[in-house]
């Protein structure tokens, strides 16, 4: 027996309570969402922020879409999303792919958020507006929760997003 180890399984060990234990991501629902996200080249907070609940949420068919790429221009201490300078690169097809994915899922409600894009003159407002419009066109019964950035305080950018009826 190694020094400091007990033959009794639980002696001296602080076990996590059952509600803190995470299951390994698996199941048909999880695999379906993982495949869809990969096929549509989407970003999710679930993956980018290394959320510990990804297995539970995806197995239940819920996810949070993250638009405007996978690199944030801000470095928030509480967030695990990769940071850097995307140098103005925007995927113009992302709004369509997001809407197609949500249509395929057939959800009643979804959440869309984004990285902050201080490298873009409008902070990403145009992509936000287009994404919302595409979702509204392809998923008419879907309730949409949008968690936008602050667009650097640009009220014109905010108005552009509001005009799309988030």
**How would you list the strands of the sheet with 109-114, edge to edge?**
43-44, 64-67, 109-114, 143-147
Closest CA to 124 of 112, 135, 111: 112
**pLDDT digits over 110-158, tens only?**
999 999 999 999 999 999 999 999 999 999 999 999 999 999 999 999 9
Q: Cα separation of 154 and 15, whole Å?
A: 49
Q: Domain residues of the chain, as ranges?
A: 21-163
Indicate the pLDDT class of residue 2, thresholds 50, 70 and 90: low
- 42-68 pLDDT, tens digit per residue, is 999 999 988 888 998 888 888 999 999
Q: What integer pLDDT is reported at residue 23 of this predicted model? A: 74
């Amino acid at each position: 027996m190694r020094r400091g180890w007990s033959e009794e399984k639980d002696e001296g060990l602080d076990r996590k309570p059952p509600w803190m234990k995470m299951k390994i991501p698996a199941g048909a629902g999880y695999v379906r969402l993982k495949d869809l996200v990969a096929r549509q080249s989407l970003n999710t907070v679930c993956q980018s922020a290394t959320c510990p609940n990804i297995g539970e949420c995806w197995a239940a068919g819920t996810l949070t879409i993250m638009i405007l790429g996978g690199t944030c221009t801000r470095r928030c201490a509480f967030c695990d999303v990769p940071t850097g300078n995307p140098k103005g690169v925007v995927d113009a097809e992302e709004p369509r792919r997001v809407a197609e994915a949500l249509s395929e899922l057939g959800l009643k409600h979804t959440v869309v958020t984004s990285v902050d894009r201080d490298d873009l003159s409008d902070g990403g407002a145009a992509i936000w507006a287009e994404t919302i419009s595409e979702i509204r066109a392809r998923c008419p019964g879907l309730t949409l929760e949008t968690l936008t950035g602050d667009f650097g305080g640009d009220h014109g950018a905010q108005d552009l997003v509001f005009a799309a009826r988030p």
